[in-house]
Structure 1
């Protein structure tokens, strides 16, 4: 029997709260090194350093900004803060943004990066441990901020994204056409 809509929302909310608590514990805990948030971006498994992100939020209403790059989705009001939302898959591959889907989330960047920005991901896959993975050769063709690659025990390849380097990239900062 299918769960009712309020039950599904409650379970989703509970999952998000648990994931946030685990992320906060990972940031402040003694064994914080090597823990990453696994996400799906452009059909690829990616890892985000927990110290470079702030929170995972459900999709917010966006206000489009005229004369901006296609990968810049617009502005969202996240916790009272105007935040630019970027679709990383579109930025990285130069394709048009994907239509909105149910699993998508916005991940806000850490205040330490000094950029009020969120990145849209296709799905949040949970915490991953670098110690459980094998480092692969750097992807020489990839931008500097996504050259580290790892492979997990199931043979799945993960790209580790360095959001601190991404926010310093001139192309990322130039959202205007």
Structure 2
């Protein structure tokens, strides 16, 4: 219950900060920063949907290991994808780590009935939070965008959720 309240508080703070920034003419953050399997990712705010605490997921047989199953989020069944697993991580998850994780739904405008499992929400980021950037590697997935480096040297990989939702690997959940 405390997780739900903390998540609700975070969403409220994020929404009020975005509204205040828009009203003041300040440049608004472009990304929701998340972490999965020890790596940092930037998800475009315009492509991101609602954030949910971890809920029970109903396993679906004969699917990829990164497709965790389906969950009931606000009365709708949503496919749950382990972002780290989809990107190649094989690190096992315990019930404890899952209970601390969040589900990030895709924006309804993308018409994708899915949510990404992320280990940690790291707040909002804009381009001013980074000191350098580099284009994606030539062998990177098509949905990878720019890689940004912050002042501490941490690397943040941008992921285009619209391109991810259209990626053949993402769409092929059968094992």
Identify the residue that residue 14 of structure 2 maps to in structure 1. 19
Q: Gapped runs of 5+ residues in structure 1?
A: none
- Maintained 8 Å contact 1:75/1:82: yes
Identify the residue that residue 138 of structure 1 maps to in structure 2. 136
CA-CA distance at 1:171 after TM superposition: 1.1
Aligned residue runs from structure 1 range 83-94, under 5 A: 83-93=78-88
Q: Gapped runs of 5+ residues in structure 2?
A: none
In structure 1, the residue corresponding to 2:116 is in which secondary structure?
Answer: strand
Q: Report the number of matched residues.
A: 171
Identify the residue that residue 168 of structure 1 maps to in structure 2. 166
CA shift in 2, pair 1:63/1:32, >3 Å: farther
- Maintained 8 Å contact 1:76/1:84: yes
- Maintained 8 Å contact 1:138/1:148: yes
- Maintained 8 Å contact 2:68/2:81: yes
Distance in 2 between residues matched to 1:53 and 1:12, nearest whole Å: 15
- Maintained 8 Å contact 1:151/1:157: yes
TM-score of the aligned structures, taking structure 1 as reference length: 0.84
CA shift in 2, pair 1:46/1:20, >3 Å: same
CA shift in 2, pair 1:10/1:116, >3 Å: closer
Distance in 2 between residues matched to 1:173 and 1:28, nearest whole Å: 35
Identify the residue that residue 76 of structure 2 maps to in structure 1. 81
Give the one of 121, 126, 129 matched to 2:123.
Answer: 126
CA shift in 2, pair 1:124/1:144, >3 Å: same
Distance in 1 between residues matched to 2:20 and 2:27, nearest whole Å: 5
- Maintained 8 Å contact 1:20/1:56: no
